[in-house]
Structure 1
Amino acid sequence: MRSGAFLARVQERGEYPTVQEADRAARVVLALLGAHVVGEERAELAARLPETYALILLNPLQAAEPLDEDRFVRATAAWIEGATEQTARWDVSAVLSVAAEEAGEDLLRRVLLQLPPGYDVLFGHPEPD
């Protein structure tokens, strides 16, 4: 996938007025996600993203411990200037739902197995109760 197409989808999904805002959200969210997804799944997901974003996923911010979905959203808000938890949740969902589409069902399922409960909603694929 080309970077422009990926960003256009993030921009549309997140309803960002500029591509720069979509890029900022994608960079932060993927850097945080990369700290939580490891091994073959991280490499496979990176291979399905544009090179710029693949490198961000493969060279993540360091996390001392796995963040549950609420803490992941708060961490995103801390990295995006002027973000609130509500806007950060929107940013996370915009980026991760596009990443989920690129991943496909099998890879997404394996990625979600590495993450604490609740991430399925962030990826736009809520599991039935």
Structure 2
Amino acid sequence: QIQTSSMSQIVEHLAESKNIQQGSEQQHERRLQEIAGIQDRCLQEMQHRMESFQKTIGESIDKLHSTLTVPPVQQEVVSRSWNYEDVGCPSEFDEKPRSDSAGKSRPFKSPTMPMSQKQDLVDEDIPESFPPQRKRPW
């Protein structure tokens, strides 16, 4: 009788431990599935962020490229030779003196100067190179 009861206890104990083991295996399996689901969501989020990042970088590069490249219409204007006479500046390569009246010698008359001093000014007092013809840095 003692052997039978101890045997039945052992069988019960084994059955219990088997249930516990199966339960823990099921719990372990559920955790693995949860982890796999989390990994999948993380991977999808990373892919989404990477695509978004690549799109943003692409747009930024396109914007930068469009600001750096000159449209064809503007290139025409830029490549046209600069005409110094348009601005009233002698060209660096133009050696002849200007023929318009601004280049001629003439007395300088200031409105604040008294009349007696204005009459004293004569063309010979002003050097021939007035106004001075400087070469432009451009």
> Which structure would you say has the larger Rg?
2
Question: Under a length normalisation based on structure 1, what TM-score does the superposition of the two structures give?
Answer: 0.17
